[in-house]
Structure 1
Amino acid sequence: MLDWFDAWLAAYRPTVGLYFSGGVSSAYQANMWLEPLAKLGGRPVVVLRERFMMQKIAATDLPIICLPKVSTLLRLEQSTLQVLIHPSNSGKTSQVLRIPTIKHTFVNHGESDKLSSCNPYAKAYDEVWVAGPAARERYAAAQVGVEDKDVVEIGRPQLDAVRPYEGPPTGTYTTVLYAPTWEGWDGNPGNTSVIEAGENLVRALLADPGVRLLYKPHPLTGSVDARAGAADLRIRELVRAANRERAGERPVDDGELSRRAQELDRLTLASFRTAADSVERMLLQSTPEPGRAEAVARATAAWERAYWASLPEWEHQVVTDARPALYACFNRADLLISDVSSVVSDFLASGKPYAVANTSGLSETAFRAAFPTAGAATVLTPDAAGVPALLDAVRHPERDALVGARAALKRRLLGPDEPSSQERFDMAVQALSAVARRRRLPGQRRDEETVCASGTLTLPE
């Protein structure tokens, strides 16, 4: 296996990689960076550490290698790899940071005002890539050892999938997405609204006959605090009860959703034998079929159209499966209600109205000052008293006093529209690759050809 790996490295000559290690439910943190990585120049690769993760990574055209052993991982030092991009911190991150020939950057898997978005561990990386000026300010204020010169603003290239605001609701129903975050590890009552405010918010929304609710809880809800899990179950029952009272006609099942699901499963699941182990998967995934990711994107879009068409427009939904994805729910919603989390930052790309639940115990003024992402939001108290006025502003834009604030906050959180975020991501990769090339291997000649992120480069004298 080692001989194969060394030969593959020599033949493919990777230039930039995504490094990921995590638990079963954390694959989404890596998956969100696959498409931006695939659009880069050069020869990207995905580096995994856990065998089970081979089955969790989304369909991609990128080569994927799994290196559970440190001794195998360290063979990357002799490769052409120049930059590794890290979407999360893990216990195994320190093992790859010791490779001196590779430059490392932390991109995170979303940004928010929570302390986890300025973790002191970030100072272990050569650079920290953030979405916009707000994150740069966050690191400076946190004083966790990340120097300003090492912070690079690249935007959020994933947000190309989020459609912009097209005006107020025009149909019978106003679609509201309630997407609270989970309780987190630190026990802060302000982390999630599910425990203290979730049921009140949902009751207030369901009480409006013109609302269609999409409830999308965080997948880790209840994993630390059992109260959050119990509240989540009660909210789901509220939604089911509301649907029983609102029962009406359903679209005729013409089999379209089933066909689209089968096609999508064929593209995403049938690349390996059912009994294939991680080694077989890696051997196959190291030479992925060209065009697979594009085909999956088309099939996903077709599935989403069929999915929404299969549901009655009056019916509330609890969305817990991998499909439809969060951004697909963004595109259906007229309004987001969430917590202080990266969901809010990403939703700002749409320009649509949003609200943030304040369960921190702070006054509204103090809450807005402490959490800049709430600066352009309607701040809701745990009793959900502000929901009727919020819905009124969504339906009547002339009463929406936060339009300008949302546009300004979008620029502060996500950066400018031009150059595009994907272009800024590519420029950041190339700049850090150039730094890596200048740190040549011992004995390398100054005129020796070196692979760069977007092709080949002969180092100047």
Structure 2
Amino acid sequence: MPLARDAVLAVGLLRKALATRRARIDLRRMLAERGPLPQNRFRIAVYFADGPVNMYQMRQWYAPLRELAREWPVMVISRAIRGADALLRDDALPVAYAPTVRDVEQVLDEQDVRIVFYVNQNTRNFQMFRYGRRWHVFINHGESDKMYMTTNQFKAYDYAFIAGDAARARLSRTLWDYDLDRRTFAIGRPQADHYSGALPYTPDERRVVLYAPTWEGDRPSAHYGSIVTHGEALVSALLATGRHRVVYRPHPRSGVVDPAYAAANARIVAALAAANAADPAAQHVHDTAPDLGWQLAAADLAVVDISAMVYDRLAAGKPLLITRPVDPEALVDDTGYLAACEWLDAADSGDIVERADRVLDDPAAVERLDHWVRHYFGDTAPGSSTRRFHDAVRVLMERWDDRNSSSAG
């Protein structure tokens, strides 16, 4: 077994090295074709030190940031070869590749960056924190009740953009001596104003169930993933009815830690393909597309793990079931929505059809859902979150002007 594991590890390292080499070649070519970025143009930078595995954290912000760029030009400072390669291929925002600290300093010398956004807690963020005279703002990559959302690392940033009252309550319970009123801005979920994408199926009388599990996690406290414990049973039950359409959207990191998780994921994908081959009208979907939008809006029911997907779906205001973690060490915040949500236990996964019908046909569910939507995101009327996002940026730009004037004086 150790030899087999070593062989698998060696193959994985070789593939990663080859992918990095290809990305380096492609990156040089794309940067040469594009030419240098115009100097003194960008006022906002998104700092991204990660590679392609965490690109989902950036991609969900593309649409809101592009709209913001109409008022305040936005760029991305990318530190990793393969991350920069992916960003340039997406061609969603201007990208500066800055692998070294000296490169970062050159970008800052060439641009009048007044706000730096961060979508995650990468330890290399601290290399950017050294530069003052600009606001460092944590915008995160989703709202959830994970312990990640209450980390003391919030204090490392000058400000944080949060979703709403639930986030405020969560932080106030956890962080000591943190000025929530001044250092946080509640903006809701701007991404919800940009749901898009064409349906990959033709709508019919089938009920659409989105199953969007998270990855397996890298420690017991974060073992929220359900593919092994719930996934195969619930997907099999839904495929057997002939009256459901499954949209399966696994987390991009599924199986990176646990081979059993990767194998179960592969079996679910194979089951979807087999079901479609047997009944082409079923049009089940294995969704690996980078953009998230139509999935949340089109599904009649969503089955999700404890992750940002809970709250992405909640922002859509439509019914959902949450898988209950099997690992007793998995941390579950039972003070918010998870204290009142509809849980799906692993033992009940095979009864998903009955559970789904009950949730979808419960008249009281709409009222309960509306309460929690307001608690987490505030006003979710179209455009409301985008307006709050832009208003928060304007406030920080005004504070930058005030500070800059004081320093100049």
TM-score, normalised with respect to structure 1? 0.71
Give the CA deviation at 1:37: 1.8
Per-residue CA deviations over 1:1-33 (Å, capped at 9, x if unaligned) read xxxxxxx78843321221111022112211222
2:33 matched to 1:33?
no
Distance in 1, Cα, partners of 2:402 & 2:292 = 41
Distance in 1, Cα, partners of 2:204 & 2:106 = 59
Alignment partner, residue 313 of structure 2 = 347
Give the CA deviation at 1:389: 2.9
Distance in 2, Cα, partners of 1:10 & 1:236 = 45
Alignment partner, residue 83 of structure 2 = 53
2:10 matched to 1:44?
no
Distance in 2, Cα, partners of 1:443 & 1:162 = 42
User: Is the deviation greater in 64-73 or in 43-52?
Assistant: 43-52
Residue in structure 1 matching 2:171, options 117, 126, 139: 139
Residue in structure 1 matching 2:265, options 232, 235, 242: 232
> Residues 170 and 48 (structure 1 numbering): CA distance in 2 closer, same or farther, change over 3 Å?
closer
Distance in 2, Cα, partners of 1:389 & 1:213 = 15
Alignment partner, residue 118 of structure 2 = 86
Distance in 2, Cα, partners of 1:360 & 1:400 = 30
Distance in 2, Cα, partners of 1:436 & 1:126 = 12
**For 1:202, what is the secondary structure of its paired residue?**
helix
> Residues 140 and 55 (structure 1 numbering): CA distance in 2 closer, same or farther, change over 3 Å?
same
Distance in 2, Cα, partners of 1:392 & 1:31 = 33
Alignment partner, residue 329 of structure 1 = 295
Give the CA deviation at 1:128: 1.1
Aligned residue identity for 2:102? S
Distance in 1, Cα, partners of 2:351 & 2:324 = 12
Distance in 2, Cα, partners of 1:326 & 1:72 = 33
2:284 matched to 1:316?
yes
**Is contact 1:178-1:338 (8 Å) kept?**
yes
Residue in structure 1 matching 2:356, options 367, 391, 398: 391
Give the CA deviation at 1:385: 5.4
Aligned residue identity for 2:94? P
Distance in 2, Cα, partners of 1:401 & 1:193 = 27
Alignment partner, residue 227 of structure 2 = 194
User: Is the deviation greater in 115-124 or in 187-196?
Assistant: 187-196
Per-residue CA deviations over 1:403-443 (Å, capped at 9, x if unaligned) read 11111111111221367111111111121222223333897
Alignment partner, residue 380 of structure 1 = 344
Alignment partner, residue 205 of structure 1 = 238
Aligned residue identity for 1:208? T
> Residues 129 and 26 (structure 1 numbering): CA distance in 2 closer, same or farther, change over 3 Å?
same
Distance in 1, Cα, partners of 2:189 & 2:90 = 20
**Is contact 2:324-2:345 (8 Å) kept?**
yes
Give the CA deviation at 1:243: 3.5
Alignment partner, residue 70 of structure 1 = 101
**For 1:117, what is the secondary structure of its paired residue?**
helix
Instruction: Kindly report which structure 2 residues correspond to 1:392-431, keeping only aligned pairs within 5 A, or say none.
Output: 392-393=357-358, 397=361, 399-417=362-380, 420-431=384-395
**Is contact 2:249-2:286 (8 Å) kept?**
yes
Identity value in percent: 31
> Residues 10 and 239 (structure 1 numbering): CA distance in 2 closer, same or farther, change over 3 Å?
closer
**Is contact 1:345-1:373 (8 Å) kept?**
no
Give the CA deviation at 1:354: 0.7
Per-residue CA deviations over 1:316-347 (Å, capped at 9, x if unaligned) read 2222344xx33222233111001111111011
Distance in 1, Cα, partners of 2:269 & 2:407 = 64
Alignment partner, residue 7 of structure 2 = none
Residue in structure 1 matching 2:190, options 157, 164, 169: 157
Alignment partner, residue 455 of structure 1 = none
Distance in 2, Cα, partners of 1:62 & 1:361 = 40
**For 1:370, what is the secondary structure of its paired residue?**
coil
**Is contact 2:60-2:292 (8 Å) kept?**
no
> Residues 9 and 239 (structure 1 numbering): CA distance in 2 closer, same or farther, change over 3 Å?
closer
Alignment partner, residue 242 of structure 1 = 275
> Residues 426 and 438 (structure 1 numbering): CA distance in 2 closer, same or farther, change over 3 Å?
same
**For 1:355, what is the secondary structure of its paired residue?**
strand
Give the CA deviation at 1:108: 0.6
Aligned residue identity for 1:353? P
Distance in 1, Cα, partners of 2:391 & 2:245 = 42
**Is contact 2:359-2:365 (8 Å) kept?**
no
Give the CA deviation at 1:157: 0.9
Aligned residue identity for 1:333? A
Count of aligned positions = 361
Larger CA Rg, structure 1 vs 2: 1
**Is contact 2:242-2:282 (8 Å) kept?**
no
2:57 matched to 1:24?
no
CA RMSD of aligned residues (A): 2.9
Alignment partner, residue 259 of structure 1 = none
Give the CA deviation at 1:106: 0.3
> Residues 214 and 34 (structure 1 numbering): CA distance in 2 closer, same or farther, change over 3 Å?
closer
**Is contact 2:315-2:380 (8 Å) kept?**
no
Distance in 2, Cα, partners of 1:213 & 1:86 = 34
Give the CA deviation at 1:38: 2.1
> Residues 34 and 319 (structure 1 numbering): CA distance in 2 closer, same or farther, change over 3 Å?
closer
> Residues 181 and 427 (structure 1 numbering): CA distance in 2 closer, same or farther, change over 3 Å?
same
**For 2:220, what is the secondary structure of its paired residue?**
coil
Distance in 1, Cα, partners of 2:215 & 2:335 = 17
Distance in 1, Cα, partners of 2:92 & 2:139 = 21
> Residues 221 and 17 (structure 1 numbering): CA distance in 2 closer, same or farther, change over 3 Å?
same
Distance in 1, Cα, partners of 2:42 & 2:372 = 38
User: Is the deviation greater in 372-381 or in 39-48?
Assistant: 372-381
> Residues 393 and 148 (structure 1 numbering): CA distance in 2 closer, same or farther, change over 3 Å?
same
Distance in 1, Cα, partners of 2:335 & 2:219 = 17
Distance in 1, Cα, partners of 2:222 & 2:113 = 43
